[in-house]
Amino acid sequence: MPRRLHQGGLASYEPETLACFLAALEHTRPGDVLDVGANIGLYAALAAARSRRRVYAFEPAPRIADTAQAIVRDNGLGVEVVRLALSNHSGTAALRISPVVDTANTLTPESRPQLGRVLVRVETLSHWRERAGAAPSIVKIDTEGTEPDVVAGAFEVLRRFRPWIFCEVRPEHGVEERLMALLEPFGYCWYHLSGEPPYPLRALIVGRGSAPGQRMWLFAPEPVPERVWHTAREWYRALGRPAPRL
């Protein structure tokens, strides 16, 4: 992630999601921002820089969490880095470290090559929220295949706070079907963040066929108002195109 941001700026990393995330900071009700699977904390940093909300960045990989903490400290940002993996249970789990990219570390037991494993603490979002006294309004989830587990551990949060959720949907492990089954009882609407806003309301959550950079979705507790899409479109155009690589 740092290399991509250095080469192409914000426009080179999920510009559709960044634009909608920045719009959500302006239009959603007051509340806290949770960056789950934060990596170096890009979304958390933007939330802290662009709002007065309390911001939490969840990153279980020790070295990456150290980098996120250094970015927060060096830039004077109001972000609390939480060294914790969120899932549908509490305890410990093995985080598989990718030898290819730092954004591919995962808790999923799969056969992809791995650099090693790190034992990390795991907790449900609902239990963590109760301990922290947080009131989530915006939640970003990018956990490389365990997004449904994060949602399953957040039922009390969905029921009580109804946050906007920005979520990666990978075309594997039955992620699409599980997310729909988990979110439908709460009346959530879903939008695929691909191309320039606005985005149509979708009947199904589908990850298959999406390019790696086009896998982010918005799960909203009600239909998204036009004013939000207008702001998202302005942010999308302001981000511009990725700078050419040198």
Domain boundaries, the chain: 8-239
What ranges make up the beta strands (E) of the chain?
32-36, 55-58, 79-82, 85-87, 91-97, 116-124, 136-141, 164-168, 189-192, 216-220
Could you tell me which CATH number the domain at 8-239 has? 3.40.50.150
Q: What is the pLDDT of residue 8?
A: 74
Residue 245: what pLDDT?
45
- Kindly report the pTM of this predicted structure: 0.91
Ranges under pLDDT 70 in the chain:
1, 6, 100, 102, 110-113, 209-210, 212-213, 241-246
CA dihedral (140, 144, 145, 146) in degrees, to 10, reads -60
Distance CA 165, CA 138 (A): 6
Give the pair of three-digit tokens for residue 193.
């963040």
Q: To which residue do tokens 């985005």 refer?
A: 199
Amino acid 212: pLDDT: 66
What is the per-residue pLDDT for 209? 67
